[in-house]
């Protein structure tokens, strides 16, 4: 029975909030406390309001093949339909068409790559022929020992397409060559995608009313959900529900130590950053979504090998510059292009991706005659980009946008910058020994890891939610086997969450 059990959750991002929500929904008498290091909930999925213009720190599509995840979303923010319209309702999920393209050679290519007439026209017949022969070669003579992301991509797409569209962009995002990255990242993010599947998908009828789109590769989905006021609106609603059910959420509360005895966490030390004091809290169960590097180094006792491995885990950090514009030189026949994202393949700029906020939700932009874009950079903490002064970085970003001939100086109305440490757990360095960290933490009976940073795994947002649900399942059933959590996002099709078990 969970009636008098106390659960401490570290981190108020998608995984932590979902775990708390799931526990309280199924066991209302459980005591759930969530501690969040920052001053806001939502983690990298939160939304920031700048003078009435809203921007997600990391823009996320709401898309899942999990029935339980879709149920949670719909219970908090019902999906728009003919009788439930966004212009009349504040708490609502918009249904959006996916359009993402790659900016390369100052032209736009569909993403994922579509081998259609437009693609052939943009690249030229000779390059396309090379891509075709290269792909056939990769099918007939694939790498047998796929020990890097480079080999993974070449097996899937052929060397020619890899060189054109994957090699340089991957290095821009991760800061290392694909030959130095684990293939596991590709297995999780690209899954079953290949040239063959993109061609087959282009021939199928579109199912725009089917949000789950089972049997469709994640990168090929046509439709997704998105909260009217940004990703953070969903997490605010989830946090509100948790508090209404008796759960407690404390912000500005940093976990500084986990006291471990006999393979169990007995208590945690929390730094109350507002009141400048330390709090010690005991609990029966603990769920951690904090970066595993910080978690392990806060253990009261840990073998040197595990400590050193965790301390050397690598991350990629994130900077987004919001720019409010009068105009942008990306137009279609009916005005501004409808793309959600534009991936910037050009090697002469450091911009990785541009999100056009109006195309996610027009309700996030205060002046409907303006265009609000989020210009994304990946970097390492304390490198040249990260260390740049904010005003200098904004000028640098505007200059890069001008190099791409996307804007002019007179187009810029205002701008802002947001930084996020440890946004992307990296599959480099000591990652090939990560299994040792997992084996060690799995032995701690009442500690469950969940989420992107909690598991050092580049999960989608719904994967993090499923991890939180599975952690809740383990606690509610007193199951000490954590393998079900680690199995999330390891299969070709998301496994269904069995919340009734």
For the stretch 31-86, pLDDT in tens is 999 999 999 999 999 999 999 999 999 888 999 989 999 999 999 999 999 999 99
Helix and strand numbers, DSSP H then E, in the chain: 17, 21
Please write the tens of the pLDDT for every residue from 400-434.
999 999 999 999 999 999 999 999 999 999 999 99
3-state secondary structure 284-302: CEEEECCCHHHHHHCECCC
Q: 């066991």: which residue's tokens?
A: 27
Residue 332, classified by CB atoms within 10 Å of its CB into exposed (0-12), middle (13-18) or buried (19+), is exposed
Position 113 scores a pLDDT of 78
Position 490 scores a pLDDT of 73
**pLDDT band with cut points at 50, 70 and 90 for residue 331:** confident
Residue 263: left if φ>0, alpha if ψ -120 to 50, beta else—which one? left
CB 25 within 8 A of CB 241: no
Position 496 scores a pLDDT of 38
Position 501 scores a pLDDT of 37
Say yes or no to pLDDT of 196 above 70. Answer: no
- Cis ω before 112 (30° cut-off from 0): yes
Cα-flanking dihedrals φ and ψ of residue 107, to 5°? -130, 165
- List, in sequence order, every residue forming a beta bridge with 316; answer none if it has no partner: 424
Longest dimension (CA), the chain: 70
CB 335 within 8 A of CB 321: no
Sign of the torsion angle spanned by Cα atoms 343, 344, 350, 355: negative
CB 205 within 8 A of CB 47: no
Rounded Cα–Cα distance for residues 151 and 155 (Å) = 6
Record the tokens describing residue 26, joined without a space. Answer: 């199924």
Q: What is the DSSP letter of 240?
A: H
Rounded Cα–Cα distance for residues 358 and 211 (Å) = 21
- 79-to-22, 207, 215, 222, 464 alpha-carbon distances in Å: 21, 17, 22, 16, 21
Say yes or no to pLDDT of 195 above 80. Answer: no
Say yes or no to pLDDT of 144 above 90. Answer: yes
CB 112 within 8 A of CB 193: yes
Rounded Cα–Cα distance for residues 8 and 109 (Å) = 47
Q: How is the chain split among helix, strand and coil, in percent rounded to 5?
A: 35, 25, 40
The continuous run of DSSP H or E covering 260 comes out as: strand 253-261
Rounded Cα–Cα distance for residues 217 and 139 (Å) = 20
Length reported for the chain: 501
Q: 């440490």: which residue's tokens?
A: 421
Which parts of 326-427 are beta strand (E)?
A: 331-332, 335-336, 341-344, 353-356, 371-379, 412-425
Radius of gyration of the chain (CA): 23
CB 86 within 8 A of CB 92: yes
Record the tokens describing residue 240, joined without a space. Answer: 């509100």
Record the tokens describing residue 24, joined without a space. Answer: 């309280």
The continuous run of DSSP H or E covering 316 comes out as: strand 315-325
Q: Which residue has the higher pLDDT, 334 or 129?
A: 129
CB 287 within 8 A of CB 448: yes
Position 185 scores a pLDDT of 72
- 377-to-109, 322, 374 alpha-carbon distances in Å: 21, 12, 10
396 contacts: CB under 8 Å, gap ≥ 6: 388
Q: 């965790």: which residue's tokens?
A: 310
- 203-to-116, 133, 196, 257 alpha-carbon distances in Å: 11, 22, 11, 55
Record the tokens describing residue 395, joined without a space. Answer: 């000028």
Say yes or no to pLDDT of 28 above 50. Answer: yes
Q: What angle do CA 220, 56, 208 make, to 5 degrees?
A: 30
- Comparing CA positions, the residue from 100, 77, 342, 360 lying closest to residue 221 is 100
Position 500 scores a pLDDT of 38
Rounded Cα–Cα distance for residues 54 and 339 (Å) = 18
CB 340 within 8 A of CB 400: no
Lowest mean pLDDT among 116-130, 182-196, 301-315, 335-349: 182-196
In order of their start, the domains of the chain are 6-44+231-313+428-486 (3.50.50.60), 45-62+78-99+315-425 (3.90.660.20), 105-203 (1.10.3110)
Lowest mean pLDDT among 113-127, 269-283, 373-387: 113-127
């Amino acid at each position: 029975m969970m009636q008098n059990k106390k659960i401490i959750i570290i981190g108020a991002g998608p995984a932590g909030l979902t775990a708390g929500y799931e526990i309280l929904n199924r066991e209302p008498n459980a005591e759930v406390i969530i501690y969040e290091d920052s001053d806001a909930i939502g983690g990298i999925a939160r939304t920031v309001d700048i003078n009435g213009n809203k921007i997600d720190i990391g823009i996320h599509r709401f898309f899942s093949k999990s029935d339980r995840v879709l149920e949670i979303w719909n219970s908090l923010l019902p999906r728009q339909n003919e009788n439930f319209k966004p212009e009349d309702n504040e708490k609502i999920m918009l249904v959006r068409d996916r359009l993402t393209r790659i900016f390369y050679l100052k032209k736009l290519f569909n993403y994922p790559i579509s081998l259609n007439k437009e693609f052939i026209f943009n690249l030229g017949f000779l390059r396309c022929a090379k891509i075709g022969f290269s792909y056939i070669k990769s099918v007939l003579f694939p790498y047998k020992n796929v020990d890097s992301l480079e080999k993974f991509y070449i097996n899937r797409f052929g060397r020619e397409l890899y060189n054109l569209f994957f090699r340089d962009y991957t290095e821009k995002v991760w800061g290392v060559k694909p030959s130095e990255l684990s293939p596991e990242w590709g297995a999780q993010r690209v899954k079953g995608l290949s040239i063959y599947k993109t061609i087959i998908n282009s021939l199928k009828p579109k199912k725009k009313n089917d949000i789950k789109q089972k049997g469709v590769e994640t990168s090929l989905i046509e439709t997704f959900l998105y909260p009217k006021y940004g990703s953070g609106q969903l997490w605010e609603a989830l946090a509100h529900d948790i508090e209404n059910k008796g759960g407690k959420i404390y912000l500005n509360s940093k976990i500084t130590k986990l006291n471990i005895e006999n393979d169990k966490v007995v208590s945690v030390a929390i730094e109350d950053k507002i009141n400048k004091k330390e709090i010690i809290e005991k609990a029966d169960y603990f769920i951690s979504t904090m970066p595993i590097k910080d978690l392990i180094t806060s253990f009261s006792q840990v073998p040197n090998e595990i400590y050193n491995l965790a301390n050397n885990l690598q991350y990629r950090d994130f900077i987004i510059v919001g720019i409010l514009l009068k105009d942008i030189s990306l137009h279609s026949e009916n005005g501004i292009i409808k793309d959600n994202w534009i991936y910037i393949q050009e090697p002469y700029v450091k911009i990785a991706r541009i999100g056009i906020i109006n195309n996610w939700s027009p309700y996030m932009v205060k002046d409907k005659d303006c265009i609000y874009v989020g210009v994304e950079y990946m970097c390492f903490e304390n490198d040249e980009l990260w260390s740049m002064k904010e005003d200098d970085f904004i000028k640098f970003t505007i200059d890069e946008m001008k190099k791409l001939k996307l804007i002019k100086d007179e187009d810029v109305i205002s701008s802002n910058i947001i930084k996020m440490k440890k946004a992307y757990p990296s599959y480099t360095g000591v990652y090939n020994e990560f299994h040792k960290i997992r084996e060690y933490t799995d032995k701690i009976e009442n500690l469950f890891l969940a989420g992107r940073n909690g598991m050092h795994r580049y999960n989608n947002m719904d994967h993090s939610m499923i991890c939180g649900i599975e952690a809740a399942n383990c606690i509610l059933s007193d199951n000490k086997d954590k393998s079900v959590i680690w199995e999330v996002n390891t299969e070709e099709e998301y496994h269904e969450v069995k919340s009734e078990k």
